[in-house]
């Protein structure tokens, strides 16, 4: 009779130990594993964000340095009239250095952006194709940031196509 009671007590003791010790430890372990999994995923996402922020920071630094470089190419004047005068003088010098014959230089309406003002200038001239090529190369490698907005080249005389009439709209930029 003692043996069945002893076995029963051992089984009862094992079930109590399982219920009050092992089961809570397993539950605690599974909760910790879930929390650890969630925290690991969050950490990996944060690491990706951190790596992306380093790249973004480098891109911002590059953009700021490029903006500083471009700012040195802007026409440094206080108002639009002085900007047009300086741009007009610069364009005339370039055209004379390439041998183009100036027909007219006409300022157009100023285009205002948030930080900059575009100073468009319409150029009418006669030249040969090599002179136009030289002018455009000097314009692109010049001391000011100048964009060529439109260019229209027409042959003046079909029998003598060496001279052409060119109409170019360029824009110089100044800081507002």
Mean of per-residue pLDDT scores for the chain: 87
pTM: 0.64
The DSSP code for 127 is E
Res 95 pLDDT > 90: yes
Q: How confident is the model at residue 162 (pLDDT cuts 50, 70, 90)?
A: confident
Torsion angle of the four alpha carbons 14, 15, 17, 18, in this order, in degrees rounded to the nearest 10: 110
What is the model's pLDDT at position 75?
Answer: 87
What is the model's pLDDT at position 1?
Answer: 63
Question: What is the CATH T-level fold of the domain 80-175, as seen in this structure?
Answer: Alpha-Beta Plaits (3.30.70)
Q: Where are the domains of the chain?
A: 1-72, 80-175
The per-residue pLDDT for range 106-121, each reduced to its tens digit, is 999 999 988 889 999 9
By C-alpha distance, which of 63, 67, 64, 77 is closest to 175?
77
Phi, psi of 125 (to 5 degrees): -155, 170
The per-residue pLDDT for range 136-161, each reduced to its tens digit, is 999 999 889 999 999 999 998 878 77
């Amino acid at each position: 009779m003692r043996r069945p009671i002893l076995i029963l007590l051992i089984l009862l003791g094992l079930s109590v130990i399982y219920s009050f010790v092992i089961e809570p430890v397993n539950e605690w372990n599974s909760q910790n594993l879930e929390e650890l999994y969630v925290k690991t995923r969050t950490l990996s996402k944060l690491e990706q964000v951190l790596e992306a922020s380093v790249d973004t920071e480098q891109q911002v630094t590059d953009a700021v340095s490029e903006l500083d470089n471009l700012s040195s190419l802007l026409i440094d004047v206080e108002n639009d009239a002085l900007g047009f005068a300086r741009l007009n003088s610069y364009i005339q010098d370039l055209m004379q250095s390439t041998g183009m014959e100036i027909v007219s230089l006409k300022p157009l309406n100023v285009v205002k952006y948030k930080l900059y003002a575009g100073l468009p200038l319409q150029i009418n001239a006669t030249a040969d194709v090599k002179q136009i090529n030289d002018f455009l190369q000097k314009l692109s490698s010049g001391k000011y940031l100048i964009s060529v907005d439109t260019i229209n080249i027409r042959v003046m005389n079909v029998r003598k196509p060496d001279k052409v009439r060119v109409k170019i709209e360029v824009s110089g930029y100044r800081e507002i």
